[in-house]
A and B are shown apart, each in its own frame.
Chain A
Amino acid sequence: MDLGPYLLLASLEGAVQAAVLALTAVGLSLVFGVMRIVNVAHGEFFMLGAVFAWWIATFFGGHPAIGFIAALLIAPLLTGLVAVIVDWFVLKRLEYDPEGTIVATIGVLYIIQQVVLMTYGPDARPVEAPFNHRFYFPWFGYSSYKLFVIAAAIAILIGVWMIMAKTRIGLVLRATQLDRETATAFGIEVNRIYALVFGLGAALAAMAAVLIVPIQQAHYLMGGDPLLLSFIVVIIGGLGSLRGTVVAAALIGMSDGIISVFFTPTLAKILATLLVAMVLVYRPNGLFGTRSA
């Protein structure tokens, strides 16, 4: 192949990465932005989404599309529910103390991981893609499911943006993010908003995971990479800035894909981490951050 098609292939791989990463990182960013909480267990919510997806797909059987659609609807709901329970049992009791919640969510990370290990087991299991045509470019064929992942992630992100910008609940979320005390003085029940946001953040990670399991397989240790990359993205994008998060996810995901194809995945990680360091030194609030966090 010439360089052009090769670059296109690499870009597509990068775009799939970027799409899934953007969903996961927006969940993390939303939780940090509104609740001021660093959720170390975010990667485990991603993993839970994948594991739930496998269970649901297995339960439904039949045509892979039925199981997949069921998983895409139910797995984020279940994961969100787990997150709401974590919020209610753990975070609320700590009164959302910034340091306390970091330690607590590390604990939650291990609890979720070990419970999945004890129940689901140590195996990596695939979920069958709902469809598996190949889309033929003039130079190579490409999985149409991967193209679907990109489109679905963009659709979900637009949905999140619409909710935040156009709906009453989005307005309440933004007001709570800006000034929690004044929000309370205007009748907003901040604890309920926090539970909702924590659930929504986890559900977004779970959606990303459901989209990726047909490509990657569900495994109880799969949460580590998404967590690390999400943190990188959220730091580069600016803590709590959703727009920044999406731009940074596209940047990191695309460059990761392209550099991995042309050079090595290790070089991609090195460059991403270097970029984080540079951003922290020269723009501590991130590329799109406005307030000091």
Chain B
Amino acid sequence: MLEVSDLHCAYGNVNILQGVSLSVTAGEILCLMGRNGAGKTTTLKCIMGLVRSSSGSVMLDGLEISQLPAHKIPGLGIGYIPQGRRLFSELTVAENLEIGLMTRNSGRNIREQVLEIFPRLRERMDQTAQTLSGGEQQMLATARALCLEPAILLLDEPTEGLQPSMIEQIRQVIISMKNEGAAVILVEQRLDAVLSIANRVTFIENGISRETVDAEKLDRDNEYLARYVGV
């Protein structure tokens, strides 16, 4: 479904990605792992077109999207949940969702579906995003991306700084998205979270994707983790 090959990108003179390849199919969760600064977030931004790639390709169902203008990419059905949530802080919950709905002209029924997944947001519709708790903010960031009815979902450390009950809820949403046939790319640092839901894991080191392995092959004292993540 989404196939990234030999992606390179640079901020000015600093090469961030120097050959990232990965692929994810419908109904699959691919996890990106690697140390801080390895290029996980940049890989997602590069797929979204927010950072321009200097070479390599991003194919979505056979369509080359890495040369498209960035604002055209989400309309193809890629929902992005950025690191740190990046909500429109002074906009209300309803307005944040509205921005998500506008991306692909999704109808009211989509909004209802999303609110059924996150009923807590319904009680907060007129509050500004900045007044929500951390967990609610993550719900909103997730809901905003689901408003696109995404075929592909990119999540950048969605459980960062959340309490366990909230982590579990986010996890359930990711799994149900997968079961509905979405392709999911998840950047995650917490090992247990990865092992319990990922199908495959791609390890990134110094901007290069080193290896992709089935999640079943990984367990806690596996050499992959020691080598690429340092645990």
Which A residues fall within an 8 A CB radius of B? 168, 171-172, 174-175, 178-179, 181-190, 290
A121 CA to B191 CA in the complex, in Å? Answer: 74
Decide yes or no: A187 and B104 within 8 Å by CB, A174-B88, A178-B88 being known contacts: yes
Q: Which of B71, B91, B100, B148 contacts A178 (CB 8 A)?
A: B91
The number of chain B residues touching the other chain, given as a range, is 20 to 34
Which residue of the partner chain A has the closest CB to B50? A181
A172, A174, A182, most chain B CB atoms within 10 A: A182
- Measured CA separation A183–B80 after assembly (Å): 11
Contact digits for B86-105, partner A, Cβ 8 Å, 1 yes 0 no: 11111100010011101110
CB pair A179–B103 under 8 Å, yes or no, is: no
Q: Which residues of the partner chain A approach B75 to less than 8 Å between Cβ atoms? A: 187
Q: Is the CB of B70 within 8 A of A182?
A: no
Q: How far is the CA of A185 from the CA of B41 in the complex (A)?
A: 14
B91 touching A184 by the CB < 8 A rule? Answer: no
24 residue pairs bridging A and B, Cβ less than 8 Å apart: A171-B95, A171-B99, A172-B102, A174-B90, A174-B95, A175-B99, A178-B88, A178-B91, A179-B88, A179-B89, A182-B86, A182-B88, A184-B50, A184-B71, A185-B70, A186-B80, A186-B103, A186-B148, A187-B74, A187-B102, A187-B103, A187-B104, A189-B69, A290-B90
Is B144's CB under 8 angstroms from A186's CB? Answer: yes
Given A171-B99, A175-B88, is A182 in contact with B82 using a C-beta cutoff of 8 Å? Answer: yes
Contacts of B82 in A (CB 8 A): 182, 185
**Bound-complex Cα distance A12 to B159 (A):** 59
Give chain A residues whose Cβ lies under 8 Å from the Cβ of B90.
Answer: 174, 178, 290
Give complex CA distance A134, B14 in Å.
Answer: 69
Q: Which residues of B contact A168 (CB under 8 A)?
A: 98, 102
Known: A185-B48, A187-B74, A188-B71. A178 touches B99 (CB 8 A): no
Bound-complex Cα distance A189 to B74 (A):
11
- Chain B nearest CB, measured from A197 CB (Å): 16
Q: What CA separation (Å) do A147 and B168 show in the bound complex?
A: 63
Give which listed residue, B72, B86, B91, B104, contacts A174 with CB less than 8 A.
Answer: B91
Known contacts A171-B95, A179-B86, A185-B70, then 18 further A-B pairs from the complex at CB < 8 Å, ordered by chain A residue? A168-B98, A168-B102, A171-B98, A174-B90, A175-B88, A181-B50, A181-B86, A182-B87, A182-B88, A184-B48, A185-B48, A185-B74, A186-B74, A186-B144, A186-B148, A187-B103, A187-B104, A189-B71
List of B residues within 8 angstroms of A175 by Cβ: 88, 91, 95, 99
State how many angstroms separate the Cβ of B187 from the closest Cβ of chain A: 15
When each residue 45-56 of chain B gets 1 if its CB lies under 8 Å from chain A and 0 otherwise, what string results? 000111000000
The CA of A190 and the CA of B69, in the complex, are separated in Å by: 11
Q: Least Cβ distance of A183 to chain B in Å?
A: 7
What is the CA–CA distance of A172 and B148 in the complex, to the nearest angstrom?
A: 16
Q: In the docked arrangement, what's the CA distance between A59 and B221, Å? A: 84
A172 to B99, CA, bound (A): 7
Task: Knowing A185-B48, A185-B50, A187-B103 are in contact, say whether A171-B70 is a contact too (CB < 8 A).
Answer: no
Bound form: Cα–Cα A184–B82 in Å: 12
**Inside 8 A of B88's CB, which chain A residues have their CB?**
174-175, 178-179, 182-183
Q: Return chain A residues, CB-CB under 8 Å to B80.
A: 185-186
Least CB distance, B128 to chain A, in whole angstroms: 11
Top-5 shortest CB links A-B: A187-B103, A189-B71, A182-B86, A187-B74, A178-B88
CA distance A187 to B144 in the complex (A): 12
Could you tell me the distance in whole angstroms from the C-beta of A97 to the nearest C-beta in chain B?
Answer: 14
